[in-house]
Amino acid sequence: MALADDRQRSVLQRFFKTGPGQYGEGDVFLGVRVPQVRAVVKLVSGQIGLDHIPVLLHSPYHEVRLAGFLLLVDAMKLALRSARQASCVEADAVVDCYLTHSHLANNWDLVDLSAPKVLGRYLLSPAGRSRYPHCEILDSLSRSDVLWQQRIAIVSTWTLIRADDYAPTLRLAARLLTHRHDLMHKAVGWMLREVGKRDAAVLRSFLHDHATQMPRTALRYAIERLAPSERKHWLSVR
């Protein structure tokens, strides 16, 4: 609250589309930049119990919710630092807290700054692989009626992509191709681009099967790292 800035508040509320009918309608900002939020989180990380983080997540202020989600990121990192059985229990508790409050990550920055490092990391851990075989939790989230939970599902796969596990991304991308919201088109295209950065053949195979049905935004994001001539080809088939 002490860091609140009226001028920055106005900038952020425009940037995150908080006006009537926009995707962030009604969200309230203090006017605190992300580096400032991170600095506050750094001061208290490890000192706040998991049971207190939901108080932050239920705040009406966007930046306070961000602080809560970043604290969950730190809590997951600490829980997965060792292979002790107690750490697995702690990781389970962190991801349960995250999933319970996932609907409160109600803008793209809250999702993108937390999902890969909380849910994504968890799904790569022994605890996650045992509890959610084949990443079934991602399938469940992708079928949600809540836009932000659907975005959590696809963006969480970024961590899996970095571990060369592309199947969840491809499965969710195919399911979400016809989503009505541009924010999902961008997220799907972004994750497909990340796949292509590691294995262009996998991306090309997906495009061969789905390019003609892809929203143009998703397609443009997905092919961004391909050669100009190839980008032109894929845009022509759409």
Sequence length of the chain is: 238
Same domain, 82 and 109: yes
Give me the pLDDT at residue 135, please: 87
Residues 114 and 217 in one domain: no
Whether residues 81 and 186 share a domain: the answer is no
Total domain count for the chain?
2
In a domain, 159, yes or no: no
Q: Which residues contact 31 (CB under 8 A, 6 or more apart)?
A: 3, 4, 5, 6, 7, 8, 9, 10, 11, 12
pLDDT of residue 85: 58
- State the pLDDT at residue 163: 96
Q: CB–CB of 131/99 below 8 Å? A: no
The confidence score (pLDDT) of residue 216 equals 95
Q: Is 157 within a domain? A: no
Same domain, 39 and 85: yes
Same domain, 111 and 202: no
pLDDT value of residue 37: 97
Same domain, yes or no: 38 and 6: yes
Residues 126 and 8 in one domain: yes
CA dist., res. 29 & res. 49, Å (int): 25
Q: For the chain, which residues score pLDDT lower than 70?
A: 82-86
Show which of 120, 151, 182 is a domain's final residue: 151
Residue 161, domain member (yes or no): no
Q: How far apart are CA 178 and CA 215, in angstroms?
A: 7
Quote the pTM value. 0.94
Tell me the per-residue pLDDT of 118-157, one tens digit each, with 9 for 90 and over.
Answer: 999 999 998 898 888 878 999 999 999 999 999 999 999 9
pLDDT of residue 130: 85
Q: Look at residue 80 and tell me if it is in a domain.
A: yes
Expressed as residue numbers, the domain containing 220 is 166-238
**pLDDT given for residue 83 in this prediction:** 57
Task: Please give the pLDDT value at position 69.
Answer: 98
